């Protein structure tokens, strides 16, 4: 699993847990449900974490591409793309994700499509409902999309 040198991808180890949590907090995404055993990480030549992502399984059985994060200063280098490809290569379908409006075009490159609420599994329907309420109350700055990859 190689990125353009000097980075590489690998399965996370227990010792990566703290760095994964720190990166997730640094980039300001959902810090819930972080299980290091499900993560693929990108590391630099010194072994420092520069990016991560996971596939979560929810109680309703749905799978979510989640926790995609790249260290500031390392973005736009293809790190997230390679992490996502690696995660999707080994995942069953369908896979869902939630993202802010404006990020949909990035995920469309992987064949994700936006779905209406009636096609959402229970977990994503609840998340979308709560996010919509928070957005309308101006407690959330961006709207939220739910997308699905079928093939």
- With bands split at pLDDT 50, 70 and 90, how would you rate the model's confidence at 128? confident
Do 69 and 6 share a structural domain?
Answer: yes
Q: What is the count of structural domains for the chain?
A: 2
C-alpha distance from residue 36 to each of 1, 62, 77, 112 (Å): 18, 19, 23, 24
CA-based torsion, 150, 89, 82, 65: positive or negative:
positive
Tell me the pLDDT tens digit for each residue of 87-110.
Answer: 999 999 999 999 988 899 999 999
- Regarding whether 17 and 34 lie in a shared domain, the answer is yes
pLDDT in tens, 11-58: 999 999 999 999 999 999 889 899 999 999 999 999 999 999 999 999
Q: Are residues 11 and 50 in the same domain?
A: yes
Q: Report phi then psi at 43, rounded to 5.
A: -125, 150
Examine the domain organization and report whether 40 and 12 are in the same domain. Answer: yes
pLDDT of residue 75: 85
CATH of the domain at 86: 3.40.630.30
Does residue 4 sit in the same domain as residue 68?
Answer: yes
Judge if 12 and 63 occupy the same domain. yes
Q: Distance from CA of residue 151 to its chain's centroid?
A: 18
Q: Which domain holds residue 126?
A: 93-151
Residue 73 sits in the same domain as residue 1: yes
Among residues 72, 92, 112, which one ends one of the domains?
92
| Locus of tokens 């928070």 | 134
Q: Which of 50, 65, 92 is the last residue of a domain?
A: 92
DSSP-derived 3-state class of residue 118: helix
Residue 5 shares a structural domain with residue 50: yes
């Amino acid at each position: 699993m190689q990125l353009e040198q000097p980075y590489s991808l690998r399965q996370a180890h227990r010792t990566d847990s703290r760095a994964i949590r720190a990166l997730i907090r640094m980039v300001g995404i959902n810090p819930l449900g972080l299980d290091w055993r499900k993560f693929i990480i990108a590391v630099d030549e010194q072994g420092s974490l520069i990016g991560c992502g996971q596939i979560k399984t929810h109680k309703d059985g749905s799978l979510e591409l989640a926790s995609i994060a790249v260290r500031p200063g390392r973005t736009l280098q293809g790190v997230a793309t390679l992490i996502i490809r690696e995660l999707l290569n080994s995942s069953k379908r369908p896979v869902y994700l939630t993202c802010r409006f404006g990020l949909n075009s990035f995920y469309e490159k992987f064949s994700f499509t936006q779905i209406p609420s009636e096609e959402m599994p229970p977990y994503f329907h609840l998340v979308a409902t709560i996010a919509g309420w928070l957005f309308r109350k101006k407690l959330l700055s961006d709207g939220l999309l739910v997308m699905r990859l079928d093939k």
